[in-house]
Each structure stands twice: as structure tokens, then as C-alpha cells.
């Protein structure tokens, strides 16, 4: 599996503002924030995109959501938006599964 910039963040080969870490995942601030608070939650397992996840990843996927909510609270967010881009046509640019967590401003629905 090809290495992405997020693998390098996990391995501390490049710096990132890491705000949470456990055995399964990492959360760090997005380098190009789209909201006053914008961080990413990524599994340490290099799953390229959500649609590559398998039955055996069920617990890991649930864990990512729980961590997203927990860290959002720690960052002072009550209302926030989660976003997962799956594939280039959905604006995914880094092919290591990640959950965007955005907050600190209003969000409209439906998204653009």
C-alpha cells in the first residue's frame, strides 16, 4: 500500500499539531482549516478510503466517530460537522481514510 503524508504524520516523519492519540488512531489540526476549528481523525491502519474498509474494521470505524465526538468536546465544540470525502470525485486528496471535524462557525445544509 502506498505511503501517504498521513503515514508520515503517524510515524512523526513530518510535524503536525497532534491533539489526540491512542493505539488505533490520531487526531491533528488540518493544515488548511476550513473553519475556526478543523481537525482530522485518522486510523493508524492505512485504509485508503472509507469504501475500502471491511467487516473487520467495524470496531475501528466506530472508534473514529467516538474519538471525533470526544475530541470535538475537548476543543470546546458543542455543534460541529463531520465530513468524509470518499474518492477523488468527492474531493478526497489524501488517500488515507480521515474524518474531518469542523466547528466554530455555522454550517448550511445541503452542502455544496
Pick the stretch among 27-35, 50-58, 61-69, 104-112 that binds ligand 5GP (CB under 6 A).
Answer: 27-35
Pick the stretch among 59-67, 74-82, 88-96, 101-109 that binds ligand 5GP (CB under 6 A).
Answer: 88-96
Active site residue 63: no
Please state, in angstroms and rounded to a whole number, the distance separating the CA atoms of residues 56 and 82.
Answer: 23
Pick the stretch among 30-38, 50-58, 65-73, 101-109 that binds ligand 5GP (CB under 6 A).
Answer: 30-38
User: CA-CA distances (angstroms) from residue 39 to 52, 54, 59, 98?
Assistant: 22, 24, 21, 10
For residue 21, how many other CB atoms are within 10 A of its CB?
13
- Give least dist CB 111 to ligand 5GP, A: 13
Contact predicate 43/95, CB 8 Å: no
Among the listed residues 38, 63, 96, 98, the single catalytic one is: 98
Q: Given the rule CB under 6 A, which residues bind ligand 5GP?
A: 5, 16, 28-32, 85, 91-94
Which amino acids are annotated catalytic?
98
Amino acid at each position: 500500500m502506498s505511503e501517504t503524508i498521513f503515514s508520515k504524520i503517524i510515524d512523526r516523519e513530518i510535524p503536525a499539531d497532534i491533539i489526540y492519540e491512542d493505539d488505533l488512531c490520531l487526531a491533528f489540526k488540518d493544515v488548511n482549516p476550513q473553519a475556526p476549528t478543523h481537525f482530522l481523525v485518522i486510523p493508524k491502519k492505512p485504509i485508503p478510503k472509507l469504501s475500502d474498509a471491511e467487516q473487520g474494521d467495524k470496531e475501528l470505524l466506530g472508534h473514529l466517530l467516538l474519538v471525533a465526538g470526544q475530541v470535538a468536546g475537548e476543543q470546546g465544540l458543542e455543534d460541529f460537522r463531520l465530513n468524509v470525502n470518499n474518492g477523488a470525485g468527492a474531493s478526497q486528496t489524501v488517500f488515507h481514510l480521515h474524518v474531518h471535524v469542523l466547528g466554530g462557525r455555522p454550517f448550511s445544509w445541503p452542502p455544496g
